[in-house]
Structure formats: structure tokens, C-alpha cells
Structure 1
Amino acid sequence: MAFDLKDESQVKEFIDNLGIEYRFGCYKEKKPEVCHLLGDFLESIMKDYTKAGKIYKSNCEDYNFGRSCYKFGNYKLLGRGSQEVDCDVAYEYYRKACELGVSEACQNAGLMCLGNGTHTRSVKDHRKGLQLLEKGCDGNNPFCCYYIGGVYIPGIPEASIEKDMDKARRYSEKGCELGNIYACANVSQMYRRGDGVAKDEEKAEKYKKRALELQDELVKQQQTLTFQQGTKPI
């Protein structure tokens, strides 16, 4: 049956049917990917964050579904859906999601270990933080690659993590390849200054050019978003 999404009654029927389909797939067929969709449905369509949080939590714990672990970590971090804010519990769900291959969770868990930002673990663990970020970088998360590269430029003396410009270059190059503008800028400067690498103006220009391309893409995206938000029907 085709639904006319301009008809309010048909939209309601469509949403009701969607909810029934997701509940059947989750509770009866016990499909973790459908349970996650049910959580997303409750969160984004029904705005029932309490129920959505319960779905994400159980889907993580019962079925080891990484995306649900990540979402419940967000709920604990932000105190969403009747959840009390608990950074240490949020970290555990992020860590589990990271182990299950969710690179965004590796990023969050890694930063919480390093103690950077508003939301951190009660105990810092710099080496664990780097391990988590490395896993995120291995999963092609551009921010994780950029951040690790940035860590190795000065090192972390209090954690006995030494400056390592070779690692800084390698992680920064990968972050740039994945589209992180700051990683491109960092590696460009390394080659221009000969900081830990042989000076290479050609490579410095190559990464500078890539950074500028990414900057232009970002500006165009922002302009498009502004135009769409600001456009009014005549």
C-alpha cells in the first residue's frame, strides 16, 4: 500500500504500522538490528527517550549490538531518558561499543580516558585512551587519527608518552586522507619545517592544498545549509 504523506491520517497509520513492525522484529523475532531501529523509532519519532534508552541498553547487553551500546553511552553521558549522568558508566558502554567496531565510541571513550573535555572518567588513563583512539583510527575515524597525531607532536610527559614525530606524521597523514582538515594542516607544517621528517616543499604544498580543499567544501556545506534554512516559499 502506498501512503500519501501529505494526508495526516495516512501518516499516522504509517507510523503506527512502522512501530508494530519494529516491535514484532525485536520482541518476537529477536533481531538486534531491528531492536536498534525500534530504539531509534522511539527516540526520533515518538520522542519517548525513557523507552528508547531501555531498548538501547538491553540490545547492547543481550545481543552485543555495538550501535546500541554507543547510543546508551550517550544517554548516560547526557542524562537523557530518565538516566542519571554517569561518565564512568557511559565510558564502559562506549568501550564495549568500541570493541564491537563502532569508531565514534572509540573516539568518545579515548577522550574520556585522556581527561579532555567536559565529560571525563573519574580516573585518567592516557595509555588506554591512546589505545582506544588507535582502534578508532584503524576503523577509519578521521578525528581519532588526527587526535593521536596531535598527541605525539609534544607527547604527554606526565604519562611517560614521549614525543614521536614519525607516529605524528603517519597518523596525521591518515587523518588527512580521511578528510580531517586539521590533520592536513599539521602534516603540511611538518614537511615545511622538517619537524621530525625531511623537509619537502612539494609534500608540504600537497597537504596544504588538501586542507584548503576541505575548507572550501566545509564553507560550501555551511552556505547550502544556511540557504536551505533561510529560504521561504514565495
Structure 2
Amino acid sequence: MCLCCVLIGGGLMAEPNPEELVLLGIKSYEKQDFSKAKGYFEKACDLNNGGGCSNLGVLYQNGQGVEKDLIKAAYLYSRACELKDGWGCSFLGVLYYNGDGVKQDSKKAVALFEKACKLGYKKACEMLKELR
């Protein structure tokens, strides 16, 4: 029993998992603490969490807590999409559709919206209907 108290008291708490890091990042984002949000999203993305990469991409796309960088945002959305994050695929599709940070490519945008839709991101399904 004493060993347990020592271990708990000694700060041997587990590090947050990637999903928890994303949630912590979202909470920080909602409080407008973009610097803190960036740290959480970066850690989650480094741990191959697509949501972490997508949310980090949003910070770079909007210049929140970082210098605005659409090329970096596109890279992060691409990474998120590779990790099967529908939100990231959809956001990358929007960049391709508008030619923001990437060469404008409507066909690629549609393919990304299709992938996002298949991954369960309903907004991408709606965008596809509008484009057809």
C-alpha cells in the first residue's frame, strides 16, 4: 500500500494518449490559447493521430498562434487524410478546389471529397452533391 502511495504521489501519471491530446487542444483552442492548442495538436499529430494533424492544419491555415502558412496547412491536411481522417481529406479538398497553398485542381478536390465522404465526414458528402 505504501508503494502505491509513493508511485501515485511521485507523479508517475500516464501521458495523455493522442485522442486526449486532441481534446486538450480543442479546449485550449476554444479558450483562444492557440499556442497551447498548437502544442497539443503537434504531439497528437506526431503520434499519427489524424485529428491532431487536421486541427494543426487549421491553425496554420488561419494563422492562429502561428504564422499563416497554406503550404504547411496543405501538408498537414494531407498527412491527416493519409491517416484516414475525413475532416483532413475534406479540408485538403477545399484547398485544391480554391487553389489555396496548392495548384488548383478540381478533379483532385472531388477525389478528396469522395474519400472524406467514404470516411464518414458528412459535410464532404454534401459538398459532392453541390459540385455534381
Q: Which has the higher contact order (CA 8 A, sep 6+)?
A: 2
Which of 191, 208, 214 is equivalent to 2:96? Answer: 191
Q: Root-mean-square deviation (CA), in Å?
A: 2.8
Aligned residue number for residue 56 of structure 2: 148
Residue 59 of structure 1 deviates from its aligned partner by: 6.0
CA distance in 2, matches of 1:111, 1:149: 13
CA distance in 2, matches of 1:169, 1:143: 14
CA distance in 2, matches of 1:142, 1:60: 32
Q: Could you tell me which runs of 5 or more consecutive residues in structure 1 were left unpaired when the two chains were aligned.
A: 1-26, 36-54, 67-96, 217-234
Number of paired residues?
121
Report whether the alignment pairs 1:107 with 2:15. no
Larger Rg: 1
Residue 63 of structure 1 deviates from its aligned partner by: 6.6
AA in 2 matched with 1:150: V
CA distance in 1, matches of 2:21, 2:8: 16
* SS of the residue 1:64 aligns to: coil
Q: Deviations over 1:141-190 (max 9, x none)?
A: 2211111112222222xx5x332101111111111222222211110111
CA distance in 2, matches of 1:61, 1:170: 42
CA distance in 2, matches of 1:207, 1:200: 11
Aligned residue number for residue 182 of structure 1: 87
Percent identity, aligned pairs only?
28
Report whether the alignment pairs 1:206 with 2:111. yes
* SS of the residue 1:215 aligns to: coil
Report whether the alignment pairs 1:64 with 2:12. yes
Runs of 4+ in 1 over 6 A off after TM superposition: none
TM-score by length of 2: 0.73
Q: Deviations over 1:4-30 (max 9, x none)?
A: xxxxxxxxxxxxxxxxxxxxxxx69x7
Q: Deviations over 1:9-60 (max 9, x none)?
A: xxxxxxxxxxxxxxxxxx69x7xxxx9xxxxxxxxxxxxxxxxxxx9xx866
Aligned residue number for residue 138 of structure 1: 46
Q: Could you tell me which runs of 5 or more consecutive residues in structure 2 were left unpaired when the two chains were aligned.
A: 122-132
